[in-house]
Amino acid sequence: MNFERYLSDLKGMVSTAKLTAARELGKIGDTRAVSPLIDALKESNWAIRGNAAFSLGELGDPSAVPHLITLLRDENVQVRKSAAKALGMLGDRRAVSALVGALDDEAPNVRRSAARSLGQIGDPSAKHALERIANNGSDGVATMARKSLGMLH
């Protein structure tokens, strides 16, 4: 499929087409998809929100950061995980505080993604929060926090 078709599908009414479009637009790499994907973050379908979040990370446009930070408080765990991953992909220091907060999320996979993203961003202000998780977190989360500590500048 082509870019224009995915954009059309993303704005359409068919959930399965929207889901696919939200996933594929990030892979295409055309930043004209940023605004429509940001709009898709408001969809009622959690899978569309999650795919749109990850695609925004793939596109690398820093204008998505505030919207992705908001998604770290989404009701759905997969959406929160996708938002945390995308923020790491973007590497924007504006996300550090929100990602530190996500280290306390109820879901281990969100905490693990937040720890990974903090390492990807590399901001030393996350050091103490990562040390806390590295020493007290669940195994997978603690392991990721230790890896991320080694990535801080």
The answer for 144, left when phi > 0, alpha when psi is -120 to 50, beta otherwise, is alpha
Residue 81 and residue 114: Cα distance in Å, rounded? 8
How remote is the C-alpha of 129 from its chain's centroid?
19
Residue 27 and residue 56: Cα distance in Å, rounded? 10
Q: Is 42 helix (H, G, I), strand (E, B) or coil?
A: coil
With beta carbons less than 8 A apart as the criterion, state whether 67 and 99 touch.
Answer: no
Answer positive or negative: Cα dihedral of 83, 13, 25, 59.
Answer: negative
Point out the least confidently predicted range of 13-17, 18-22, 125-129, 135-139.
135-139
Residue 74 and residue 52: Cα distance in Å, rounded? 13
Q: Which residue has the tokens 């901001």?
A: 123
Report pTM. Answer: 0.94
Residue 64 per-residue DSSP state: G
Question: Over the stretch 84-142, which tens digit does the pLDDT of each residue have?
Answer: 999 999 999 999 999 999 999 999 999 999 999 999 999 999 999 999 999 886 679 99
